Amino acid sequence: MKIGVLKEMNDAKVAIIPDIAKKFIEENNQVLVETGAGHLASFDDRAFEEVGATIASREETLKEAEILITINPLEEGDYAKLKPGTVVVSLFQPFADPAVAEMLASHKLTAMSLDMIPRTTLAQAMDVLSSMASVAGYKAVVRAMDHLPRYFPMLTTAAGSIPPSKVLVIGAGVAGLQAVATCRRNGAVVEAFDTRLAAKEEVESLGAKFVEVEGATDDKGAGGYAVEQTEEYKQKQQALIQEKASKADVVITTAQLRGKPAPLLITEETVNNMKPGAVIVDLAASTGGNCALTKNDETVNQNGVTIIGDSNLSASMPMHASQLFSKNIQNYFKLFVKEGQLSLDFDNEIIKSSCIAFEGEVRYGLN
């Protein structure tokens, strides 16, 4: 099959790196890569050509591809340029906008939405959300250290001793756990909070203290996302977070509700009670933010507290983020691209869940 890879419009990552393109070619596929697609991720056109991929224009890639892989969805006008029956693989987020499945079906396309892959052990090797969250959790700590006007680790010097920084991580999913681990490697004292009790053991295994509020609704079937909590719980949660945040040098927030605005966890009052020089990194910025003062894709300052709103920190580490994303795609394709042929088995739970349109028919919502 002809597998097409486009240059992302607002992202430095590339969906397929040369090493994975080579694997696809060895499996009797052709790979077309738009000119400059990997440039910002440090994979130039020559690297793709050396493994046997064809460098093509955007128009040619859209016209020729039988399977098109993108990280972010295209403009609707680009979908109109694809041949009917083309398989389009991307992060469509139909839970946020169900109409996207209808739009794709109207162009007679088959659409595979990477964010609909079940977040199970069986599908772990294909889980791009977890891969990108891991990158974001690491980079959130790097960004925080860059803005923090003090050391992270404890230091004993001839001029006196410096105590370690205190970090509060809110949300101990993949991003939060990576943030905890990175903070600990850099010598900070870390506390982590999550509504899911299953996170407690993981947090403590990384050397951090788990902050617990009794009475949480714990939905193990939420696919790695937080779930809506009762008003009584929210009030207890808010009081504890304000207490912990007021003592923290860094707060990293990662809590998201699938298909809903992110839960508000840090109020303006809490920010005003934080130390001057403290830093908040809000990874839920694109869905409203966990902090009341977060502005998506912006860094703001409130009473000496720096608030960084960025839900796409993986794009700031494009080389390794692309490598991980690309490997996830390779593992995903093993389910339905075999010896250069397309084979979609809707009895397979992963394919059933992630296929949101099939040959012009909407499948999202059928599961």
CB atoms within 10 A of CB 294: 28
- Quick check: is 225 catalytic? yes
Q: Is 123 part of any domain?
A: no
Give me the residue label for tokens 């508000």. 264
Please tell me the distance from the alpha carbon of residue 119 to that of residue 129, in angstroms, as a whole number. 9
**325 and 206 within one domain:** no
**324 and 312 within one domain:** no
The total domain count for the chain is 2
Please tell me the distance from the alpha carbon of residue 136 to that of residue 104, in angstroms, as a whole number. 29
Q: Is 282 part of any domain?
A: yes
Q: Domain containing 237 — which CATH number? A: 3.40.50.720
**219 and 176 within one domain:** yes
- Quick check: is 302 catalytic? no
User: Considering 119, 150, 185, 258, which one is annotated as catalytic?
Assistant: 119
Helices (H), 54-151: 58-64, 76-79, 99-106, 128-147
User: Considering 42, 106, 124, 242, which one is annotated as catalytic?
Assistant: 124
Res 206: pLDDT: 97
Res 196: pLDDT: 82
Q: Is 366 part of any domain?
A: no
**300 and 217 within one domain:** yes
Q: Is 240 part of any domain?
A: yes
**170 and 299 within one domain:** yes
- Quick check: is 130 catalytic? yes
Q: Count Cβ atoms within 10 A of the Cβ of residue 117 and give its class: 0-12 exposed, 13-18 middle, 19 or more buried.
A: buried
**64 and 171 within one domain:** no
> Helices 318-333 and 128-147, interaxial angle, to 10°?
170
**Closest C-alpha among 167, 221, 217 to residue 194:** 217
Res 339: pLDDT: 82
**298 and 323 within one domain:** no
**44 and 143 within one domain:** no
User: Considering 90, 93, 113, 130, which one is annotated as catalytic?
Assistant: 130
Please tell me the distance from the alpha carbon of residue 300 to that of residue 4, in angstroms, as a whole number. 39
Reduce the DSSP state of residue 209 to 3 states and report it: strand
User: Considering 11, 127, 194, 249, which one is annotated as catalytic?
Assistant: 127
- Quick check: is 127 catalytic? yes
Please tell me the distance from the alpha carbon of residue 124 to that of residue 357, in angstroms, as a whole number. 23
CB atoms within 10 A of CB 268: 12
Q: Is 125 part of any domain?
A: no
CB atoms within 10 A of CB 175: 30
Q: Look at the pTM and tell me if it is higher than 0.85.
A: yes
Please tell me the distance from the alpha carbon of residue 135 to that of residue 315, in angstroms, as a whole number. 9
**Closest C-alpha among 365, 342, 366, 364 to residue 86:** 342
**Domain boundary residue among 285, 300, 316?**
316
End-to-end CA distance of the chain: 28
- Quick check: is 218 catalytic? no
Q: Is 297 part of any domain?
A: yes
User: Considering 185, 225, 286, 316, which one is annotated as catalytic?
Assistant: 225
Q: Is 106 part of any domain?
A: yes
**281 and 145 within one domain:** yes
**Closest C-alpha among 163, 162, 164, 166 to residue 180:** 166
**324 and 307 within one domain:** no
Strand order in the sheet with 166-170: 209-211, 189-193, 166-170, 250-253, 279-282, 305-309, 298-302
**97 and 62 within one domain:** yes
Q: Identify the domain containing residue 111 by its residue range.
A: 2-116+317-361
Res 259: pLDDT: 85
Give the list of residues 6+ apart from residue 133 with CB closer than 8 angstroms, or none.
Answer: 173, 174, 175, 178, 254
Helices (H), the chain: 18-26, 45-50, 58-64, 76-79, 99-106, 128-147, 174-185, 199-205, 231-245, 268-272, 318-333, 349-354
Read off the tokens for 279: 């830093």
**200 and 95 within one domain:** no
Alpha carbon 333 to chain centroid distance?
Answer: 20
| Element of type H or E holding 166 | strand 166-170
Q: Is 80 part of any domain?
A: yes
pLDDT tens-digit profile, the chain (367 residues):
999 999 999 999 999 999 999 999 999 999 999 999 999 999 999 999 999 999 999 999 999 999 999 999 999 899 999 999 999 999 999 999 999 999 999 999 999 999 999 989 999 999 999 999 999 999 999 999 999 999 999 999 999 999 999 999 999 999 999 999 999 999 999 999 998 888 999 999 999 999 988 766 655 555 555 556 677 777 888 889 999 999 999 999 999 888 899 999 999 999 999 999 999 999 999 999 999 999 999 999 999 999 999 999 999 999 999 999 999 999 999 999 988 899 999 999 999 999 999 999 999 977 5
